[in-house]
Amino acid sequence: MNITSILRSDAILPELKAKDKQGVIQELAGLIAQVEPSIDVEQLVKILLEREALGSTGIGSGVAIPHGKLSQLDHIVAAFGRSKPGVEFDSQDGEPAHLFFALVAPENTAGLHLKALAKLSRLLKESSFRDRLMKAPDTQTVYQIIKEEDEKS
C-alpha cells in the first residue's frame, strides 16, 4: 500500500487554519470532499468525530490520524494537513499535534484500511520524516517528501 495511491496533491493543506480538534477535522473533511465529490462533508465530519469520541487518534510525536468509514466509497481516500503552531488533539503523549493524515475507507474494507493506518504509522515514527514535513515550504514539497518515503518502504 502506497500512501500516494490514496493521497492526491490537491488534498494537502500545508497550513491548517483550525485552532481546535473539531476545526482540524472539518478542514480535512473538506479537503477529502473536494477530491471525492460523492462524499457529504457533514456526514464525514460526523463519522470522524464519532471515531474521536471512542479514543483520540492523536498517536503522539505531533501526529494525528483521524479516520473513519463511509458506505458510499469504493476506495480509500486520504488528506494531509499541517499546523505549525499545533492543535490540542488529546494525543497519547499530551502534546499538541502538528501533522494530520485523515483516512476514509469503504465500510467493507477493514484490511485495506488497517494497512493504510499501519503504513502511515510506520512512516510517521521516523523523526526525520516528521521534521521534513514540518519544514516543507509548500504543497508540492510535502507531496514529494511523502512520495519519497513511500517508495523507500
Q: How many CB atoms lie within 10 A of CB 30?
A: 17
Alpha-carbon gap, residue 23 to 27, rounded angstroms: 6
Instruction: Collapse the DSSP code of 145 into the 3-class scheme (helix H, G, I; strand E, B; otherwise coil) and give the result.
Output: helix
* Catalytic residue chosen out of the listed positions 67, 75, 98, 113: 67
CB 44 within 8 A of CB 70: yes
Is 67 labeled as catalytic in the residue annotation?
yes
Comparing CA positions, the residue from 101, 116, 111, 102 lying closest to residue 1 is 116
Question: How would you classify the pairing of strands 67-70 and 97-106?
Answer: parallel
- Type and span of the H or E element at 60: strand 58-60
Half-sphere exposure of 29 (CA within 13 A, CB side): 23
- Residue partners of 111: CB distance under 8 A and separation at least 6: none
**Which are the catalytic amino acids?**
67
